[in-house]
Amino acid sequence: MGKKLYVGNLGPDADKASLEALFSVFGTVEKAYIVTDRQTCQSKGFGFVVMSSDGEAQAAINALDGKKCGDYTVKVNEAKT
């Protein structure tokens, strides 16, 4: 299994496909998902991406952490498991 990344401060329109597209520039995305509220099914504003290697994960962190994605400045770091 690859390296799991936390992606925070996502916009309300973010979805799995947009998350995969954003991170696929840096390598193979094994899994991507956005955490949703169980009752409303709306995004909680964060998600996780699993990259296939540590190098790809680090490249994504370096490139995306603190950058604007739409109207939101995203936070990207290694997920604490």
For residue 34, the domain's CATH number is 3.30.70.330
For residue 13, pLDDT beyond 90: no
Whether 28 contacts 16, CB under 8 Å: no
Task: Give residue 48's domain range.
Answer: 3-78
Our count of domains for the chain comes to 1
Burial label for 24, CB within 10 Å (0-12, 13-18, 19+), is middle
Q: How confident is the model at residue 52 (pLDDT cuts 50, 70, 90)?
A: very high
Q: How many helices (H) and strands (E) does the chain have?
A: 2, 6
Q: How confident is the model at residue 1 (pLDDT cuts 50, 70, 90)?
A: low
